[in-house]
Structure 1
Amino acid sequence: MAIYSSSNYQLIVLSKNYFLWVGLKNSVQFMVNPYPDIQWFNENKENSIFKLREKITADNSGTKWLVITEHYRTEEVQQFLPPERVCVLSDKLSLRQLSTSLKCPEFQRRRQKNVPLTHSEIHICLLIIMGYSINTIASMLNKSPKTIYTHRRNAMVKFDCNTLAGLHRKMSTIENCSRY
C-alpha cells in the first residue's frame, strides 16, 4: 500500500483494477494542489470493505476520506462507510468531474437513502446470508427476535429492498465484490 503527499483528506482506491490505481496515482498530482495521500486498498479477502470501515473509524485524527471504487459498487460501499467522513466516487467519472470532486469533495451525503448500516445491522445481515433464521440469530446473540427483525428491516430500508431476496442479492454482491 503506497502513500503519497498530503492534503486535507486521504484518497483511497478501493479496487483490484491496477490500471485505475496507476492512472489516479499519476494524474491526481496535476488535478489538485496540494494533492491528497493516495492509498491502494486491493485486498483479496471477502471482508475488505469491513477492514476499510475499521480503518476509517479507528482513525481519530478527523481526517476525511475520498474513496474511488467501481461504478457498480459505489452505492453498496456508501452503505458501509460513515457518511460524515467519507465521500465515495465512481471510477466512471470524467477527468473534469474527478478534478472537481478532488478540489471540493462532498463529505455530507444525503441522509435519506445513503445512510450507512450500523455494526449490528451488518452483523445481522451477514448471519441471515449464512442461512440462520431470525429466531436462531436471536438466541445466538441473546436478543429478542423482534430486535433482530428490526435490524433486518432497517437494513432493507437502507438498501432500498422490499424482499429478502433483494437483501440477499445486495449482500451477496458486496460479499462477492469484496473477494476480487
Structure 2
Amino acid sequence: MAKIKVILADDHQMFLDGLASLLSQLEDVEVIATANSGKEVMLKLTGLAPDLVIVDINMPVMDGLETTQKIKEKYPHIKVLGLTMENDLQLVTRMLEAGASGYILKNTGKTELELALRQVMKGEPYLSQTISNQLAQNLLRNFQQKNDLEDPLKSLTERELEILKLIALEHSNTEIADLLFISPKTVETHRKNLMRKIEVKNSLGVYKFAVKHKLLEE
C-alpha cells in the first residue's frame, strides 16, 4: 500500500521533531521532509511530491497563509492542513479561503491528528473540535441576534417594556415617574430608547405596537 507522503513546516524545531515522531507511528504515513519557513517549503516542493503539507500559520519569511496560497496555485493537487496555537475564527476562515483542507490546533493529540490527516486525504474538510464548537456557538449567536432584530420586542429591557405599556395606557411621563419611583427625565430617556427600538415616532405608534404584540392583555 502506497504511503501518504507528508511535508511538515514549523519554525519551532522541537515541535517539528515531536510532530514528525507522532506521524512516524502511523504505518502508512511517511514524513519526507521538514521545513522552518514557507519559503523553505516552496523550495522543497520543486524536488519532492508530497500528498499533504502540514503548515504552521505563524512562520517567518513566508507565513502559513501565503504558503498555502502559493502551494494551491502551483500544486493544486497537494492537500494543506493548517496548524496553529490560535483558535482565531478569522484566521481559520482566511486559511480555508486560501485553499487549506483543514485546520487543527497545536495541542491536538495523536488521535485527532490522525483523524484530521485521513479525513483531509479523503478530500473532506477537517476542523479541530475546539474550532468546530466555536463556529457552532458563533452561528447560534448570530441566529439569535438575527431573531432579535426581526422581533424588536426581544430588544426591549424589562424597564422599557414596563414603560411602553404605561405609555400605551396614556400615562404621562410624570405619572409614569410617580408609579415607578423614578424621575421624569429617566422616563423620557427610556421613552426615546424604546421608541427607537420599536421604530415608532409617537405615543400612537407605541399603542399600536402594544396592541399588535398583545401587551395590554397581560
Q: TM-score, normalised by structure 1?
A: 0.43
- Structure 1 or 2: more helix by fraction: 2
Larger Rg: 2
Higher relative contact order (CA 8 A, sep 6+): 1
Q: TM-score, normalised by structure 2?
A: 0.37
